[in-house]
Copies of this chain bind each other. A is one copy, B any other.
Amino acid sequence: MPATMELIDQYIEDNRDAFQQDLFELLKIPSVSTDSRHKNDMQLAAAWVADQFRAIQFQTEIVPTPGHPIVYAQSPKIDGAPTVLVYGHYDVQPPDPLDEWLSPPFEPTVRDGSVYARGATDDKGQMLTHIKSAQAWINAGKTLPIQIKYLIEGEEEVGSSNLDGFLNENLDRLDCDIAVISDTSQFGPGKPAITYGLKGIVYFEVFLRGPRQDLHSGTFGGSVANPANAMAKIMGSLVDENGRVTLDGFYDDVLDLTVEEREQFASLDFDEQRFREQIGVSETFGEQGFTTLERRWARPTCDVNGIYSGYQGEGAKTVLPCFAGGKVSCRLVPNQDPDKVRDAMKKHLQANCPPGLDLEVICHHGAPGIVVPLDSPYVSAAASAIEHGFGVAPVFIREGGSIPVVTAFKELLGVDTLLLGWGLDDDNTHSPNEKFSLGDFHRGIKASAHLWNEIGNI
């Protein structure tokens, strides 16, 4: 290891208590973005974050938005070296239900090596690792080998509604080569993870309108199309008995898993039985020919998210409903085109609408699936850094969900994102007794400090 990194590692080791105290300070600020009573706390949290950057002379700005402010900071440009954009958020979920917390949500308390507080893992603790790592470089008397830009927002938990606006207005300022976010999880304890793929999504609301009002199913049944039958038929035909989505051309552009990826997933010792117990099902079910992890991470899906028509109360009512509503979404993988899937869905809906019914379709947000190529030098840099920080090589995982900011970075800034997970999936994110392992906090700082070095060497 070069002398620089030894120095920095030592600095990080020597300052564990100070870093931890800083984390606790931030956790004490109840920056609940959804609750207007905490508007002032949001300002305090933003100012606290900004002060972290000012303490190391980064160019720093608290940018007002129609909602809560964005903290933006950057270190000097290093000629010939890459620029990294770090994203994080200082806002947190509401702590309710309060009476389920073992210690108050905004009084950070250490138990069994973890700090318990709202925001501990999501995202104050994870986000702070990338600030503390930069402080370590500077305070150890070293020059960062790359430029780092920080975008720390205060509205992640309420839909980031002002983020795209900020991105669009600051495309030049945000110019970078790669983005870094730590707001995900390890694959398991001691298995830090690089999430290199996310699914995209297309979401539809479907409305079927038939007779003017609900009809007597005896007097009229069988003589007019029943919106409930029709909605069921339409929604029921989207996935076949083999778990395959039936939309025309749905799989045409799907980027298949490589042999290496399937081997990597298989090597993860995913505990199928624990998974079933966790969610409470006796059997898993999905696209034939794929494992549970492959289905969750890398295969496109179609789920009915809601369906409603007619009588929902107790017992029997012999009604022929005049209306049916449905919500359905497809999760997409690279290289599926959201617009193409959207068209196929619309065609499917129209083709299956029986005579006499009016069909209305509302298309909600769409985003493509994303993968960061595993042979990218940034992925290798992150892997090395994690090995330095955690003492083990990371595992490479994908995620079935979408992270809108990753899509935005790809679409607006043209960059991939390294999703480096320091959290654990039992950290109680969004729930009472949220926690973050202090060991992982410090390992995360060390990994982050090494990441700047590794990227500088690319």
Residues of A at the B interface (CB closer than 8 Å) are 199, 201, 203, 205, 210-213, 215-226, 228-229, 231-239, 241, 243, 279-287, 292, 295-296, 299-312, 315-321, 324-327, 329, 331, 354-356, 364-365, 399-402
Contact = CB atoms under 8 A, between A and B. Distances in A.
Specify which of A215, A225, A292, A324 lies most central, judged by the most chain B CB atoms within 10 Å of its CB.
A225
A212 B279 contact: yes
B236 A301 contact: no
A107 to B, nearest CB: 29
A114 to B, nearest CB: 23
Copies held by the complex:
2
Contact of A329 (B233, B318, B365): B318
A312 B306 contact: yes
A335 to B, nearest CB: 18
Contacts of A203: 316, 318
A223 B293 CA distance: 8
A310 B305 contact: yes
Contacts of A299: 222
Contacts of A365: 316
22 contacts: A205-B315, A211-B281, A216-B400, A216-B401, A218-B401, A218-B402, A221-B303, A223-B286, A224-B279, A224-B286, A228-B307, A229-B239, A232-B326, A233-B236, A233-B237, A234-B236, A235-B236, A305-B318, A312-B325, A316-B327, A316-B329, A318-B329
A205 B316 contact: yes
Nearest to A317: B305
A229 B330 CA distance: 12
A307 B284 contact: no
A207 to B, nearest CB: 12
Contact of A279 (B220, B222, B303, B307): B220
A311 B212 CA distance: 24
Given A212-B279, A317-B327, A231 B285 contact: no
Given A228-B306, A305-B228, A331 B222 contact: yes
A239 B228 CA distance: 11
A421 B295 CA distance: 61
A218 B295 CA distance: 11
Given A218-B399, A231-B307, 15 more contacts: A212-B279, A217-B331, A221-B301, A221-B303, A222-B287, A222-B296, A222-B299, A228-B303, A229-B302, A232-B233, A281-B356, A306-B312, A307-B308, A311-B327, A316-B327
Contact of A355 (B205, B283, B399): B283
A329 B221 CA distance: 10
A150 B428 CA distance: 70
Specify which of A212, A220, A296, A329 lies most central, judged by the most chain B CB atoms within 10 Å of its CB.
A220
Contacts of A232: 231-236, 304, 307, 326
A285 B399 CA distance: 45
A238 B231 CA distance: 12
Nearest to A240: B233
Nearest to A292: B223
A325 B241 CA distance: 20
